[in-house]
Amino acid sequence: MVPEAAVQAVDNQPVVFVRTGETRFARRDVTPGLRQGGATEITQGLQPGEVVATEGSFRLKALLLQSRVEGD
C-alpha cells in the first residue's frame, strides 16, 4: 500500500517514483489495486520496503515531462 498521492499517471500509465539515492528518484510503472482510506494497493511493479515519493510526486512528474519537452 502507498498513499494515493504517490500514484501519478504518465502516458496513461500509473507510476510511482522510487527513491534511488539521497536526492534521486526513478519512475516505476505499477499496477494499482484496491483503494481504501487514502491508500492504494500496488499489485505489481513495487518491491516491499521500497521508498516512494508522496507529496513531491507531482513535482517529479512535472520534471520528467519537462525533460521530455526540452529533449525534443
pLDDT along the chain (72 residues), means of 10: 96 96 95 97 96 92 87 64
Q: Are 45 and 31 in contact (CB under 8 A)?
A: yes
pTM, two decimals, is 0.88
pLDDT at 70: 81
Nearest 5 degrees, angle CA 45-CA 4-CA 42? Answer: 25
Q: pLDDT per residue over 17-26, tens digit each? A: 999 999 999 9
Contact 26, 15 (CB under 8 A): no
